[in-house]
Amino acid sequence: HEETLQAAHQSEPENGVENGSNYKHFPSLFFHETSIPKLYEKMKQQGGGCNHFDDEGNTFLTLINTPKAKLDIFAKAYDYGKHQYETKSAGTQSLRKVFMNIALLTNPGVVRQIYTSRRLSDNGITPRMLVCFGDKNRYNSRNSMLRPSLCESNFSIYCNMLRDLLKDCYTQDSPRTIQTLRLATDAEQELKEISDHYTKCLSSESETEIGVRAHISKLSGMIVRIATALHIWENHKNIVQRPISKQNILLAEKLVHAAHGHAEYAFSVKGLQAHYSAAKVIEWIKRHRHARFTSSDVMQGVSSMNKESTHAALDYLEKINAIRQVVVPSKARQCVAHPDLLV
């Protein structure tokens, strides 16, 4: 949709005046900064807001893996809070009501690095992410990913609405007007019931992994955010006047519920991590030609493997018929590799 965004940008008056307001800066729709100080500067120029779109994920990884970089800006931006930071030249700086939208379209390898990052987890970033894995086996061609209902007229409607939204909201200067939206009464009640349900899940699922539990605690907030986006899309000329409907809360809940299953896979040692742990075990089997081995051998021979990750990897390998294993409680697992691995 780059052409649509450019057209909206070109439609703005050159002097930055729109609807009687003076804007010092037209915001950059997307940023690709690779250091926290540059991120601060970009957000300061735009009144505390920015958008990050990364079609590989490597720029985001570089940003968050910067040595000694403080990542609290991401949590502050998620909750629209005030953020203070230090600079070498100007001392303490402050951003009022910061916000940041991040979209990553990437491969499972980068996703694994994100979800196994202790820094991202400790700073509460990964629990706030909404992750979705595509099923490559469902699509035989690029065009098959498009729904049959999509056509040129529908796309034109989409482009026109996007252009209107950009024209109405195309500023991020600090004097911008901050609007507060409200929920319809039945929508508020529905959200309360959903939140109560997630609270019960947290109290009953005591054995759920820490990352998944943290994600569950953020689901109600995700629902509100998605419902708000749907509301703005439907009512972009009457955003404040009309309340967020119960229907949009329900639609958002369905999306979040489906995405939560993907998050469980991303967080779980038995999910995405097991796939990559299994690859390391196969490499170890081939390198040393281990026809027979135990789970203890794997933990000793493969780096960064503990009992939990080893068992998850062995279960994954047995599932794809790469090994057979004998599981006896309180004893090391006895494993036999498929002969093809030893060729």
pTM: 0.76
pLDDT tens profile 44-53: 877 787 888 8
In the predicted structure, residue 11 carries a pLDDT above the cut 50: no
Confidence at 260, pLDDT banded by 50, 70, 90 = very high
Asked if the model's pLDDT at residue 36 lies above 80, the reply is yes
Q: How far does CA 331 lie from the centroid of its chain? A: 39
Look at residue 60 and tell me whether its pLDDT is greater than 80: yes
For residue 218, give the nearest of 267, 179, 181, 269 by alpha carbon: 267
SS3 content of the chain, % helix, strand, coil (to 5): 50, 10, 35
Cβ pair 129, 123 in contact under 8 A: no
E strand or H helix at 327 = none
Instruction: Please say whether the beta carbons of 127 and 217 come within 8 A.
Output: yes
Question: Is pLDDT of 4 > 50?
Answer: no
Reply yes or no on whether the pLDDT at 329 is more than 80.
yes
Contact by Cβ (8 Å): 115, 266:
yes
Q: For residue 149, is pLDDT > 60?
A: no
Residue with more model confidence, 229 or 142: 229
Scored b (16 or more CB within 10 A) or e, 53-92 reads ebeebebbbebbeeeeeebebbebbbeeeebebeeeeeee
Distance CA 64, CA 125 (A): 10
Name the one residue in this structure whose structure tokens are 């990964």. Answer: 126
Residue 113 identity: Q
Q: Give yes or no for a contact between 132 and 266, defined as CB atoms under 8 angstroms apart.
A: no
Kindly state the average pLDDT of the residues 302-306. 92
Q: How far apart are CA 264 and CA 317, in angstroms?
A: 20
Mean pLDDT score, 122-136: 84
Instruction: Check whether 150 has a pLDDT greater than 60.
Output: no
What percent of the chain is predicted at pLDDT more than 70?
A: 81
The mean pLDDT value for 295-313 works out to: 94
- Is residue 173 within 8 A of residue 235, CB to CB? The reply is no
Q: Among 42-46, 97-101, 146-150, where is mean pLDDT lowest?
A: 146-150
> Nearest to residue 115, comparing CAs of 255, 272, 223?
272
Q: What is the DSSP letter of 17?
A: E
- What the block records as the tokens of 206 is 């005591």
Taking the C-alpha atoms of residue 314 and residue 323, their distance in angstroms, rounded to an integer, is 8
CA distances from 133 to 10, 165, 220 (A): 35, 29, 21
Cα–Cα–Cα angle for 264, 270, 274, rounded to 5 degrees? 120
Q: Residue 309 corresponds to which amino acid?
A: S
Q: What is the mean pLDDT of the chain?
A: 81
Cα separations in angstroms, 114 against 51, 65, 104, 234, 310: 19, 10, 11, 33, 21
172-206 pLDDT tens trace = 555 566 678 999 999 999 999 999 999 998 887 66
